[in-house]
Structures are given as C-alpha cells and as structure tokens.
Amino acid sequence: MASGHTPRKLSPGRRGKPVSSPSQQVVRLGFGFAVSQALRVVIELGIPDLLASGGHSVEDLAAAAKVDAEPLYRVMRLLAPEGVFTEIRPRHFGLTEVGAALRSDRPGPRDFIRMINSEAYLAFEQLLHSVRTGKPAFDKVFGSPRFDWLSAHPEQAALFQRAMVALSQGGNEAVADAYDFGRYTRVVDVGGGHGQLLSAILARNPHLSGVLFDLPSGVAAARQGAGGDLPRTDFVAGDFFEGVSVGDIYVIKRVIHDWDDERAELILRRCREAMPTHGRVLVAETLVPPGDEPDQIKTLDVVMLAVTGGLERTEAQYARLFAGAGLKLERVIGTRAPISILEASPA
C-alpha cells in the first residue's frame, strides 16, 4: 500500500472494528467498575421505569429524572453496548430485555446492584488488604465487620435484605421442591432472613411446623410477611454462634458462605448439638465448579473475601466443614436453580 501502513485485522461480523489486542482486553476488564456504577446510577434515577412505555429522548428522560441531559446521555451510551439500552436513533433510547430486569415493578436484581455498588463497592478498593492478610477489607474501611455495621445502619440493612431476596429468586422454590421433608416434623431455618425459603417449604409440607431463626432485623421482616406466609412458625431472634432452636431438620441457605471456616464450622456444630440422632442439616449453597470456565460464583467468592471474610466452597471443602462439626456429608442434591443441597447427618 502506498501509505506503508499495515491494515488492522477486522473481526468477522463486525465490519470496520479491529480485533481487540490482549492489552485492550485487559483495559476493558479494568473499566468494569464504570459499567457497575453506571448501572447503579440509572437504577437510582428510575430510567428503566421511565422507558417501560417505550423509547424517549435523553432530554425527556433527564427532565423527568431532574438531572442534566448530557451526562445522562453519556452514561446511557456506555450501557447501550452492554445490552441494557438501545439507541434507537440519535439521543433516543429504548429499553432492552436485559434493561427491563431493572424495572421496579418486576422481580429482578435492581436492589442487589444498588447494594453491591454502595458500601461493598467502597470496601473492594482495599481488596489487596484482604489478599495480603486474609481479613475482610470491609472491616478496614468501615471500622467494623459487615454484619455489625449493618446492625448499626438500618436503612442499609433493609436494602441488604431486599438484595438477598432479589438474589434468591427461584432458588427458594427450587430447594423446597428438591428435598423430601416427609419424615420430619419441625424445620428450623437458620439465618432465614425474610423467611422466603421457610414459607416455600411449609407451603409444600403442611405436616411441618417451622422456626424462623435469625437476628432481630431478619425476624422483624419475616413477622411482617416480607418473605411470604409463615403458618405454624415460631419466630426466634438469636445468635447462631451461641445456639439454635430445637428441630429435627435444619436448613441453612446462603449463610455458611458468609463466614470463614472456623465460624462456619461453629454454626454447623450448633445445629449438631441441637438436633436428634435422626436429624439432618441441609446446607443450600452454590458449589464452585472445577476448571477455568467463567462462573458467577467465582466472582461472588472474591466479593465474600473482601466484604465478609467468607468464601464460596467446593463439595470437598463442605465435606471437611461437616466433619469438623461432627456431621457427615451424605449426598449432594442438585436443583433446577444454580444452587445445590448438601445433606449431612450426625457422624
């Protein structure tokens, strides 16, 4: 060529756009925080709700949200290639199926996105501290452990509870459907929060009575019906590190992953101490798969490292936890959701 320049290779199906180099791919990964915070901004401004009826100009959206149009345009332009919005014509946006998941009138992850991009996001800036020490960065940034901090900040605690409800969508029903509770009489939901899982179990098993065991804030939310109807249920506020209520089957869903091995083992040991010899402990968690394929649970595992000091685990790691608590892993039961039930009996 007369110019002497070497033409850049084009990727198939993306005419005129160069193939990303390894450096460019790394830079894109490094800008992940921008997309994350942009999602939070459009949720807080209610943009997905404003687009529910159809496309609008960014000027109309900005007027309704009481913000400046030009910065809003730049944020929405960032999210459009990520599939959240589509720019149907210059400076006019429509809502995609992905973006519709952020509407306030639909069940979805909006509260989880808001929660993870607030104090948890600030803690993550100190991830290196967690890698160096094995301790949660959250404690360093905020001066207290995550759950102690939430206890002192009721508004953020309420958002956390709503975020957990959003994250659990479909999982509670999947767990309740996957296990046969027929031979048991009293189920204790340890750290049950709003009571969604317990509500699903009791609805499917009218012979069961239940115990919703959690911190006072979780019990209060469950009493108000935030997680559904809870007939035949005792509401017990307590500390599962100190002891749990008596029952013959214990369910612990997405609780063990919040804690390091020592404290996770202690929770399981408290269940072992309270249960009869024929009792069972059901731990419902997402297992970390082997290999280097992408999986959301691997991302969540590093979030746990920085925020709570907990971790996501493999089946072998859970088996060791059970053994340390005087329990034996009997089987792993898959569900239709990305969560498994690990059933343990007294050793």
Q: Which of 56, 129, 194, 257 is catalytic?
A: 257
Query: How would DSSP label each residue in 209-245?
Result: EEEEEE-HHHHHHHHTTTT---TTEEEEE--TTT---
Note whether 135 and 178 are same-domain residues: no
Mark which of 100, 125, 152 sits at the end of a domain: 100
* Burial (0-12, 13-18, 19+ Cβ within 10 Å), 23: exposed
92 counts as catalytic: no
pTM: 0.86
Whether residue 181 lies inside any domain: the answer is yes
pLDDT in tens, 70-102: 999 999 999 999 999 999 999 999 999 999 999
Q: Tens digits of per-residue pLDDT, 310-338?
A: 999 999 999 999 999 999 999 999 999 99
Of the residues 165, 184, 199, the one at which a domain ends = 165
The answer to the question of residue 146 being in a domain is yes
Same domain, 339 and 218: yes
298 domain residue, yes or no: no
87 forms beta bridges with: 93
Q: Please write the tens of the pLDDT for every residue from 153-205.
A: 999 988 998 888 887 778 999 999 999 999 999 999 999 988 999 999 999 99
